[in-house]
Amino acid sequence: MERIVTKQVNVGGVLVGGGSPVTVQSMTNTKTADVDATVRQIRSLEEAGCDIIRVAVPDKDAAIAIKDIKKQINIPLVADIHFDHKLALLAVESGADKIRINPGNIGGRDRVRAVVSACKEKGIPIRIGVNSGSLSKDLLAKYGGPSAEALVESALSHVRILEEEDFTDICISIKASSVPVTIESYRKMSKVRDYPLHIGVTEAGTAFAGTIKSAIGIGALLSEGIGDTIRVSLTDKPEEEVRVGIAILKALQLRKGG
């Protein structure tokens, strides 16, 4: 199966993009500040075959906890940040391997520059993550709803902010709860930028419904050579997300082992 070759980023020693194997990600559902519970879950996910793990960083305690969590796990950790650039800076300082943040949502350019500078210094990529539930009112009005065009335009607005700061160590996700919109969004993005794509269907749902939607959406894109890392979003245990993700890759002969 021929894959679209993208720029390569290094996430804590795991290569994403550039023709490297498609990786499987998940996200913890523990309180990140609860180090013991979070480490237990990540170790369980490691055993299930998870390649990269993301944790929520809603506050200072969570950002600080990353340092202790990192000491006890064996896979790269992504810090999920919303709006507060200070939490991003603290997560980087604590040893996060990648930051998920949308630069257009954290305030002025001085804040963006601070985050970019910290990530450059540590060699940490930034994932821009746009989904259909987070689109601005202007874009929803312009396109009449959460269309593929609206999602791509939103993602590109964040990408350009980083590019203007000479930062290109970027990964992009553009997810919708609609499978056709998700597929079309990634198709469009793959034509205008060569950054690695993190693919998935947002709010996919229960184990059964979410597995079906994810298998169709993720599978369709991968079969076209689009996608460098995947996350199956389920309301089930995170370990099930990993098992389904690996099964999708195996079905397309993109993964051999667990």
The model's pLDDT over 21-32, given as tens digits with 9 standing for 90+, comes to: 999 999 999 999
Mean pLDDT for 224-235 is 96
Q: Is the pLDDT of residue 62 over 90?
A: yes
Mean pLDDT for 143-157 is 95
Domain count of the fold of the chain: 1
Q: Is 1 within a domain?
A: no
**Residue 238 to residue 43: CA distance in whole angstroms:** 12
pLDDT in tens, 155-185: 999 999 999 999 999 999 998 989 999 999 9
**Residue 227 to residue 17: CA distance in whole angstroms:** 8
Residue-wise burial string across 134-154, b where 16 or more C-beta atoms lie within 10 A, e elsewhere: ebeeebeeeeeebbbbbbbbb
Q: Is 137 within a domain?
A: yes
Q: Is 3 within a domain?
A: no
Q: Is 258 within a domain?
A: no
**Residue 182 to residue 174: CA distance in whole angstroms:** 7
Q: Is 256 within a domain?
A: no
**Residue 113 to residue 118: CA distance in whole angstroms:** 8
pTM score, whole prediction: 0.95
Q: Is 94 within a domain?
A: yes
